[in-house]
Amino acid sequence: MKIHKLWNDYPDLSKDLTATLVLMEKNINLSNKDVEKAILTMIHSGGKLLRPAYLLLFSQFGKDYDKDKAIALAAAMETLHTATLIHDDIVDEADIRRNLPTVQSQFGKDVAVYAGDYLFVSCFKLLADYASSLKSIQLNAKSMEKILSGELGQMDNRYDTSMTIDRYLANISGKTAELFALSCFIGAYESGCSDIFANKAKQIGSSIGITFQIIDDILDYSQTATSIGKPVLEDVKQGVYSLPLLYALKNNSQALLPYLEKREQMTDQDAEKVFQLVQENGGIEAAQALAETHTNKALKEISKLSTTTQTVKDTLYALTKQLLTRIQ
Amino acid sequence: MKIHKLWNDYPDLSKDLTATLVLMEKNINLSNKDVEKAILTMIHSGGKLLRPAYLLLFSQFGKDYDKDKAIALAAAMETLHTATLIHDDIVDEADIRRNLPTVQSQFGKDVAVYAGDYLFVSCFKLLADYASSLKSIQLNAKSMEKILSGELGQMDNRYDTSMTIDRYLANISGKTAELFALSCFIGAYESGCSDIFANKAKQIGSSIGITFQIIDDILDYSQTATSIGKPVLEDVKQGVYSLPLLYALKNNSQALLPYLEKREQMTDQDAEKVFQLVQENGGIEAAQALAETHTNKALKEISKLSTTTQTVKDTLYALTKQLLTRIQ
């Protein structure tokens, strides 16, 4: 089982994350081989495993830390994440994810619907079997609701050229940050940390998730024109406007609006022009500045954590810094 | 709020089922109005509300019977049922359900994916908020897994002309009976019935569910040729072979095989011919005989229930008899 090279520098986490993937895989038992294959392909497509990693880290702050339990809960989080990706790709009609064909493009929408559903169920099975209390299940359900609201918010704001930065932040708070927040909370809470500590963990997770998504959106736009990733152009054509585009639009709406107002009629050439205009009109720099503010906030929150478990805190800090300064 | 006329004869249940629908509706809070409307349309499309009705009935056998809790758990079951219907209609590309346009045909596949997901979440939220123990959540997750396996089994057996009656029964055990079984179990278990009683309730629910599905499948084929419902012809064209067809195929494969072997190439006329051959070759009578056996089994199990709550038991018996002798 090979995991993302990011973890080479974190040998302990690397071992536990491998065990997480093994458990996720073990939980997939289906007589329908198409759906099973679709799910396993997705599990092994090289995701970064950030949500389970943060759950594993925060669980080590607790007095009741139990590695097997932490790994099971980490598997539940990554399973949920995988489910949402598969269903998102149906909605977006995306062909490519992590440089591989998506489940919907490879196996069809019907398989993708059931594959996602199966993973939602698998997540709840893991949680119900390993969580100590109904509280984690309740929070998981609430988080799933927020994640869906974020996805739907993004859908609602399609082609909305007057979309605000706050609206963007609200959408990514649900779509991305919520599952980071939940993972950090459950890790801490289920290993016996105090409610206060667990809520701090949640807040840190949320900051990390928001920042991570902003950076992801910046990276989409900071490639050279020749290596433009297909996904970002598809997003623009589908009316999904992320932070760099929103800033560029604020800076020079005159240049961008004529392209954006074409909506569904936008051509590939138009999308490439938009991409270029975002680069030329300070979209990336402004987004980077906001990312930096959020990165500093997240790191400050971590450094303020009061704990006797200094080694774990150091790892948490180092990992977060590494992730959130990918582009600075 | 209007509910199915079936409940006119059961005024107490009718009141509680109306409250169930009101609660289901109250739990739908979405800023995306398309998805919200899609969900509400589906909730008000006149489903029979059988799963919540059985949950409400079985909850009245318990010493800790709490009407509000029972209604919440009943809402969770119907919410889960609604979620599976919406996703099934995506997979089947169905245009009509309960004589109304399906969510996928009316609002598109993307809305239908998220609408179903939202209802899965809504179900878990209700359960996590109202169930007394993790056991109900665990069982719910396991049941959802079986429901999906039943759906997938049906998908796997498409166009399988050598499919056995046992295979059919296994698929409907998952696809339909499991949620009846879970509803009966949770009703009994969460209101303080003994484990033995709750497991009997589960078994009764399973018998009722299997019989109910067989009868539904018979009704599909027992209309006059002029009023053939579109859904059954669509099923046949999509390779979903239900009990009457399987029996007719056993009785006269020579007549039916040439049509079935056309698979995706089957025309509307071919499907109507298949429909007619099922009627002419004893498919309906054989299926009715099996339905009768299962009906008697379910009614016998109910009459054997040892309880002091005779009125509820009488209602349970009367309702089940009414439902399962619709065609006899």
| pLDDT tens for each residue of B48-81 | 999 999 999 999 999 999 999 999 999 999 999 9
| pLDDT exceeds 50 at position A327 | yes
Same domain, A103 and A221: no
**What's the mean pLDDT when you consider all of chain A?**
91
- Within a domain: B31: yes
- Within a domain: A137: no
Q: Which residue has the higher pLDDT, A201 or A41?
A: A201
| pLDDT exceeds 80 at position A225 | no
**Alpha helices (H) in B92-177, listed in sequence order:** 103-107, 109-130, 134-156, 165-172
Same domain, A72 and A199: no
Q: What is the pLDDT of residues A272-317, one digit of tens each?
A: 999 999 999 999 999 999 999 999 999 999 999 988 889 999 999 9
| pLDDT exceeds 60 at position B327 | no
B204 pLDDT tier (thresholds 50, 70, 90): very high
- Within a domain: A318: yes
Same domain, A170 and A306: yes
Instruction: Pick from A88, A124, A238 the residue to mutate for testing the B interface (most B CBs within 10 Å).
Output: A124
| pLDDT exceeds 50 at position A141 | yes
**ipTM of this predicted complex?**
0.87
Domain total in chain A:
2
Give CB contacts under 8 A, 24+ apart, made by A158-167.
Answer: A158/A238, A158/A239, A158/A240, A159/A239, A159/A260, A159/A263, A160/A239, A160/A241, A161/A241, A161/A249, A161/A253, A161/A257, A161/A260, A161/A261, A163/A241, A163/A246, A164/A246, A165/A243, A165/A246, A165/A247, A165/A290
Q: pLDDT at position B230, please?
A: 60
**What's the mean pLDDT when you consider all of chain B?**
91
Same domain, A120 and A178: no
Q: pLDDT at position A226, please?
A: 54
The domain boundary, picked from A130, A148, A183, lies at: A130
| pLDDT exceeds 50 at position B319 | yes
B188 pLDDT tier (thresholds 50, 70, 90): very high
* CA-based nearest distance A90→chain B, Å: 7
Instruction: Pick from A107, A117, A145, A163 the residue to mutate for testing the B interface (most B CBs within 10 Å).
Output: A117
- Within a domain: B88: yes
Beta carbons within 10 angstroms of residue A194's beta carbon: 13
**Which structural domain, as residue segments, surrounds residue A212?**
160-328
Nearest to A148 among B110, B121, B152 (CB): B121
* CA-based nearest distance B244→chain A, Å: 25
The continuous run of DSSP H or E covering A101 comes out as strand A100-101
Q: Which of B55, B19, B197 is nearest to B131 (CA)?
A: B55
| pLDDT exceeds 70 at position A153 | yes
> CB-based burial of residue B244 (10 Å sphere; 0-12 exposed, 13-18 middle, 19+ buried)?
buried
Same domain, A177 and A54: no
Same domain, A165 and A113: no
- Whole-number Å distance between alpha carbons of B153 and B174: 9
Same domain, A21 and A80: yes
Same domain, A224 and A278: yes
Same domain, A191 and A52: no
Q: pLDDT at position B91, please?
A: 84
Same domain, A196 and A306: yes
- Within a domain: B4: no
Same domain, A16 and A116: yes
Average pLDDT over residues B4-16: 94
* CA-based nearest distance B89→chain A, Å: 10
Q: What is the pLDDT of residues A159-195, one digit of tens each?
A: 999 999 999 999 999 989 999 999 999 999 999 999 9
- Within a domain: A140: no
The domain boundary, picked from A110, A130, A150, lies at: A130
Looking only at the bridges linking them, the beta strands covering B100-101 and B96-97 are antiparallel
List the CATH number of the domain containing A191.
Answer: 1.10.600.10
**B124 Rama class: left (phi>0) / alpha (psi -120 to 50) / beta:** alpha
- Within a domain: A135: no
The domain boundary, picked from A130, A151, A182, lies at: A130
CA-nearest residue of chain A to B123? A141
- Within a domain: A155: no
